[in-house]
Amino acid sequence: MKITSVYLDVLYEAQPDCKTIDVSIEQHSQRFAVLHGGLRMISMILPDVFVGRDLDVSVKSDGQLVIGSITSRSITHGPLGIQHDPRGIEECLQNASPAPVSLQWFATWKCNYKCNYCWQETTRDSYRKVRNADVTPVEWIEAFSRIPVQEFYISGGEPTVLPGMLDIVNGIGQRVPIKMTSNLGKSFDVDQWIKEVDPNNLDCVTFSFHPTQQSWEEYSSKITRFADAFGGHKTGCELVMHPGQKHFEQGIRDMQKKLDLRTINIDVYHVQPAKFPPKPGEGTDRCPHQDTSLTMAPRATDKTDPVYCSAGVNRVNVDPLGDVYTCMSAIDRGKMFGQEALPHYRSTGNVFEGFSMSREPTLCWEKFRCSACDASIVQDSWTPHPYPYELPLPE
């Protein structure tokens, strides 16, 4: 086949006995773990020397696997047979225009708690062990000052374990009042915040309660002191409805009313996978069957129908290294699949290297995976793309 770019996409559907795929061109070979549950996609990056050449692509597996297509991609969604819809793009941007331009910064993946229901904790090798950027608070402030946003939200991990966080809050907050989520643990010194943080630099700080890590007495005492100093209108509370801590719900609700807190989040508990993503097996020696009709059969669904989304236009997420992603799903999927992730899951730039917001919306077929933090900003922009059936879930 003609290799037109460094991106090679393999669409496949695997049976439960299949765990591993090998994709090879000449001496270049990569092994991937298989995901099940319908049509999936691998997006791999080839060496530059392959571009422009006619080469044979070999795909082998260790179990039953059907290949839908192998495509050398020239446009982002080329392997899916999708063309951009100018009317949908324009409508998406119009729908997004009233929303504020919002940035969420995951200041660090490190946390001083170990909650067994945390999505970052269950994949701790992908998050907790990742280093932070080796920069000063001043450098963070200067980098973010170059991005014109109306909302600035700090999250983590636990953001207050990052050295210099109070300086960053004050530095950024002078331009855009800060929103933050914290676990109100040992790294959050209420007295120091009262002494050093200008209340005008804060929009709202939401404190999540984790009963397995902190007593109710300590949590309620610290949040009361914070609300008394900064005001209930700048304070929020939060509880994950894990089966072992549902009995704290009434206490949280009573405290919200007593302190007249601005927000209260009672979050649904989601069971986390024991281990994800999967890892490839030891070997592959089977040549999978190819069936091009696999990618053409209608699969009606209301979950994976593609939409244009304003993520990247009026909402971005920044990781602890300063890398910018369109959404939280992009951060997570990008971590899982690295350079093999689809383009809209890869980093779109870095705040230390002159990053700018995108001018065009993202085409997405995984809005069911959208986090509440992102959806609250972008969901009004979602505009259907005139595509007749379900798109494959990438990777």
Reported as type and span, the H/E element at residue 71 is strand 65-72
β-bridge partners, 324: 318, 349
Which residues are CB-neighbours of 237 under 8 A, at least 6 positions away? 206, 207, 208, 209, 223, 252, 255, 256, 261, 263, 264, 265
**What is the C-alpha to C-alpha distance for residues 112 and 196, in angstroms, rounded to an integer?**
22
Cα-to-chain-centroid distance, residue 389: 25
Which of 236, 161, 168, 237 lies closest to 196, judged by CA?
168
CA 120 to chain centre: 11
In this prediction, residue 267 carries a pLDDT of 79
Nearest to 210 by CA among 113, 337, 75, 100: 113
Predicted local confidence at residue 392, as pLDDT: 56
- What average pLDDT does the segment 36-49 reach? 82
Reduce the DSSP state of residue 47 to 3 states and report it.
coil
pLDDT of residue 119: 65
Decide if pLDDT at 301 tops 70: no
C-beta atoms surrounding 238 within 10 Å: 19
Q: How far apart are CA 172 and CA 201, in angstroms?
A: 8
Query: Helices in the chain by DSSP H: which ranges?
Result: 86-96, 124-127, 137-145, 165-173, 190-196, 216-230, 249-259, 328-337, 372-378
158 within 8 A of 113, measured Cβ to Cβ: yes
Tokens of 24: 């090879």
Q: Higher pLDDT residue, 303 or 131?
A: 131
pLDDT (tens digit per residue) in 345-379: 778 899 999 888 999 998 887 787 788 889 999 99
Return the pLDDT at 295: 65
More confident residue, 151 or 116: 151
In tens, the pLDDT along 222-262 reads 999 999 999 999 999 999 887 888 899 999 999 999 999 99
Instruction: Please provide the average confidence, as pLDDT, over all residues in the chain.
Output: 86
Give, in degrees to the nearest 5, the angle at Cα 304 between 303 and 307: 105
Contact in structure between 302 and 392 (CB atoms under 8 Å): no
Q: How far is CA 91 from the centre of its chain?
A: 24
Per-residue model confidence (pLDDT) at position 274: 46
Bond prior to 320 in cis (omega within 30° of 0): no
| Predicted pLDDT at 341 | 60
Q: Using one digit for the tens of pLDDT, what is the confidence trace for 134-177?
A: 999 999 999 999 999 999 999 988 999 999 999 999 999 999 99
pLDDT at 300: 47
User: Which residues lie below 8 Å from residue 247, measured CB to CB, with a gap of 6+?
Assistant: none
CA distances from 91 to 2, 146, 339, 371, 379 (A): 36, 28, 31, 23, 13
pLDDT the model gives residue 5: 86
How far is Cα 270 from Cα 254, in angstroms, rounded to an integer? 24
| 197 pLDDT more than 70 | yes
- Helical pair 165-173 and 137-145, crossing angle rounded to 10 deg: 30
Put simply, whether the predicted model's pTM sits higher than 0.85 gets the answer: no
Q: How confident is the model at residue 388 (pLDDT cuts 50, 70, 90)?
A: low
Answer yes or no: is pLDDT of 37 > 90: no
* Residue 175 buriedness (CB in 10 A; 0-12 / 13-18 / 19+): middle
Beta-bridge partners for 63: none
Residue with tokens 């050398």: 72
pLDDT at site 395: 44
Q: Give me 352's structure tokens.
A: 């230390």
- Report whether 89 contacts 308 (CB < 8 A): yes
